Structure 1
């Protein structure tokens, strides 16, 4: 059985969605952020040295990093359903989107959030973060033009990974600036297993 170590209000929500799509047996061990610092609890360090989430345990292995978890589980259980054929152009695009989610896309969004949270005047960082956010989100928006899903016209691990970016844009009240992301986010939120994963996370976070 797959065990997901899940932290509330974190990137591991999309791993719940992935697990539901896979249809394999799994369990969730849930952790809550510190109410003052909003950091993960120290108990997570007993699972992985970084003390972060998501982390899965399966078949004697402890696997961290959302992209690695997504690639591994899809390759193991759903390569014919949630990934394009290997050696195809779609598969190259699929891998790029999976890694874009946790590199180029998330970094400026996190930087902007941290600058705002710190509250200090940082003319360079504030301007840099704003420009990078606009660049990556405009790119994401433009690449969705004329598409339903990101790759091959059907749901894949790339969409599951990028769903967290859509959620951040939505939470920041910026979807109206990016109409293709807005349309795409509405499509993802109608997926039955996305709805189920949102309900599961809400219940764990209650």
Structure 2
């Protein structure tokens, strides 16, 4: 059984969603970033963490990729062109979408107040909207890397929720349809209910 350390208001949400999709047993240990319990396992204090036997894995996307590869679902096989295209989508989302969201968060509440530049958020919102439109232009079917959802789909759908909560643009109708498909998945709905109950 896996143990996930983090909380559902963080990137741990996407790891729990992956485990729910895979129907693998897990325990969630709610911890905020930089808590003593987290720092004892990861000196950076970042969440989420995945514990398996004596191993501690960090970074939500690395954890999701590991789980998908290990269980052979929500991914294309390593060493295939389909996997290369899937990975390109994953890295693109991290670079263009999540980076804008994380930078905005840093300048809202993460950085010390004297280091924040709130004016940067307008530029980040513009960049985010442009990147979402470009991603949707490249969407040839229902999902980013084939006929079924894969790691980048869970990643992008989670970022879409993060963006909405942060007040980022939500006018792109194709992205709204995409998010509706992803949020209708039973595994996603289960995690949402868990988050509401937490």
TM-score interval, normalised by the smaller of the two chains: 0.7 to 0.9
Give the Å deviation of 1:120.
Answer: 8.8
1: distance between equivalents of 2:55 and 2:116?
Answer: 44
Matched, 1:138 2:133: yes
The 1-side partners of 2:90 and 2:134 are apart by: 15
Q: Which structure 2 residues correspond to residues 4-43 of structure 1 after superposition, within 5 A? A: 4-31=4-31, 33=32, 40-43=34-37
1:128 shift after superposition: 4.2
Q: Distance in 1 between matches of 2:81 and 2:169?
A: 29
How many angstroms apart in 2 are the aligned matches of 1:137 and 1:104? 9
Structure 1 residue ranges without an equivalent (≥5):
34-38
Q: Deviations over 1:113-152 (max 9, x none)?
A: 44455599959745643443233222223223x4211111
Distance 2:39 2:156 in 1: 26
Instruction: Give the TM-score taking structure 2 as reference length.
Output: 0.84
| Contact 1:115 1:122 (8 Å CA) reproduced | yes
Distance 2:141 2:114 in 1: 39
Moved more, 94-103 or 7-16: 94-103
Structure 2 residue runs without a partner (length 5+): none
Q: CA 1:45/1:128 → structure 2, altered by over 3 Å: closer, same or farther?
A: same
Q: How does 1:157-196 map to 2 (within 5 A)?
A: 157-172=151-166, 174=168, 176-196=170-190
Task: Report SS of the residue matched to 2:51.
Answer: strand
Aligned residues: 195
Give, in whole Å, the separation in 1 of the partners of 2:13 and 2:3. Answer: 14
Question: Which of 43, 67, 85 is residue 93 of structure 1 equivalent to?
Answer: 85
Normalising to structure 1: TM-score of the pair? 0.81
- Please point out which of 46, 52, 58 is paired with 1:58: 52
| CA 1:88–1:202: 2 relative to 1, 3 Å | same
Q: CA RMSD in A?
A: 2.6
